[in-house]
Amino acid sequence: MKRFNRVLVANRGEIAVRVMRTLQELGIETVAVYSDPDAKAPHVLMADYAVRLGPAAATESYLNQTRLLEVIRDFDVDAVHPGYGLLSENAEFATAVTDAGVVFIGPPPGAMRAMANKTDARATMIAAGVPVVPGGPVEEAERVGYPLLVKASAGGGGKGMRRVFLPEDLDEAVASCQREGAKSFGSDHVYVERLVMRPRHVEIQVLADSHGECVHLFERECSVQRRHQKVVEEAPSPVLQPDTRAAMGAAAVAAAKAVGYVNAGTVEFLLDESGEFFFLEMNTRLQVEHPVTELTTGLDLVAEQVRIACGEPLGYEQDDLAQSGHAIEVRLYAEDPATFLPQIGTIQHLRVPEGPGIRHDAGIYAGWEVGVDYDPMLAKLCVWAPSRAQAVMRMRRALDDYVLTGVTTNLELLRHVLRHQAFLDGDTTTAFLDEYPYEPPSQIDDACLIARALAAGQGASSVAQSGGRDGVDLHSPWDRLGGKRL
């Protein structure tokens, strides 16, 4: 079988770091690429070789296919790992890489194209016997029935989607999705689907080799989302029953085989309150949330991707695979925890939680400048424990230990989710943050925290770090401090 000596990681941030770690463990040299703001990024510092692509704009750096192909040629790489985002699902780039005689560590371009257009993918899934949400062209809205969802055919990441509850609101929603689809994806084609109320977002990880074998690595639940973007993921799902898990896994394998899929991919489903599931889409790449699958199966998915790309068979069958324990991942974003607006600044202090069962995937460090040029995700914090209840408690402790100053982050939102009784109960639908929104404390609340800290003989900073609003004496400090004032 082929063996890679040098691999270009065509990405940045935490995913580039994560991919490089596995490549180094496999004894493979790594080539990093970077834009000007990323010149001293962690992935650049850890690579064997690093090459400047261009200025900050992604179109002039990380999305510049011509420049990337020059790097491939100049550094004599054997393969390209695209990570996720950027060019990871770009069939044109994958084709250009293979045409250059280099292996693309991902699916064939044809499989990408088959799943890229949502309407085409729906038709393919129906033919393969995979259950899909009732839907069709906009003209069939009445047949589909209200409430419904208008979706851009080439959409993704929550863009180009509008809910419609009444027929008179359809035209405006269609026009809005067409505008957003044309702007974000270069296509204004839209379609409609039945809106599944309060669903769970459950996805199945699949691996397929070039010898016709395909397995699934069970499910991840990704229901806690903001603006259709995932925030908290876990494996296994807290509600999936064995028969549903088996049926959903079989459907995911059928979906992958229907498009001739090879390498790692994820088939996403909606699970309604009755336990019925429907195909949503297939992500033809490694997922952000892949660590929870790794933690519960013991597999290194990047290593599996490399083995498959080298032409090796999977070497195991479905019955050889099993889940163990429970894993949870939270995404740390540089964004306001209430408005979700991106934030900028310099990370002044970073303290990462430690201890058994904790994993931290990051592309940042103290002194790192967080700008506006790229996605605001800074890191992923993951935990594993023998049971879900233990995993929740471990994540709560880890989040309380996490300190990042200098940039506003969503840490308080994550703490809110993990401490909510509904999350502990496993009541995690896609409406979670709508039904249980995070409410930031007011200024008077912060003043009260300081007063409470003084009353308990604590420093205000210690209360801030502990997130402490519980267990502090509420008696007035003024009775103890004499003439002193805050």
Residues 409, 453, single domain; the answer is: no
- Active site positions, annotated: 281
Residues 176, 291, single domain; the answer is: no
Residues 34, 74, single domain; the answer is: yes
Assigned domain for 119 exists:
no
Q: What is the pLDDT of residue 136?
A: 87
pLDDT at 118 exceeding the cut of 90: no
Which residue would you say has higher pLDDT here, 478 or 445? 445
Q: What is the pLDDT of residue 446?
A: 63
Neighbours of 461 (CB within 10 A): 9
Look at residues 258, 261, 269 and name the one whose alpha carbon lies nearest to residue 218: 269
Residues 342, 415, single domain; the answer is: yes
Place of tokens 């790309």: 309
Q: Retrieve residue 206's tokens.
A: 């699949």
Q: Retrieve residue 196's tokens.
A: 């599944």
Query: What residue spans of 269-410 are helical by DSSP H?
Result: 290-297, 301-309, 388-401
Q: Retrieve residue 429's tokens.
A: 């639908």
Residues 297, 395, single domain; the answer is: yes
Assigned domain for 122 exists:
no
| DSSP character at residue 442 | P
pTM check: above 0.75: yes
Residues 307, 166, single domain; the answer is: no
Report whether 209 contacts 193 (CB < 8 A). no
Gap between the Cα atoms of 28 and 80, Å rounded: 12
Q: What are the pLDDT digits (tens) for 191-200?
A: 999 998 899 9
Q: What are the pLDDT digits (tens) for 80-100?
A: 999 999 999 999 999 999 999
Residues 279, 421, single domain; the answer is: yes
Contacts of 416 (CB under 8 A, 6+ apart): 337, 436, 438
Number of domain units in the chain: 4
Q: What is the chain's mean pLDDT, rounded?
A: 91
User: How long, in residues, is the chain?
Assistant: 486
| DSSP character at residue 55 | S
Percent of the chain with pLDDT over 70: 91
pLDDT at 473 exceeding the cut of 70: no
Gap between the Cα atoms of 166 and 145, Å rounded: 10
Gap between the Cα atoms of 304 and 205, Å rounded: 12
Residues 387, 450, single domain; the answer is: no
Residues 145, 89, single domain; the answer is: no
Place of tokens 């970073």: 350
Residues 221, 260, single domain; the answer is: yes
What domain range includes position 151? 134-194
> What mean pLDDT do residues 460-474 have?
45
Q: What are the pLDDT digits (tens) for 227-267?
A: 889 999 999 999 999 999 999 999 999 999 999 999 999 99
Residues 264, 285, single domain; the answer is: yes
Residues 462, 422, single domain; the answer is: no
Gap between the Cα atoms of 358 and 330, Å rounded: 12
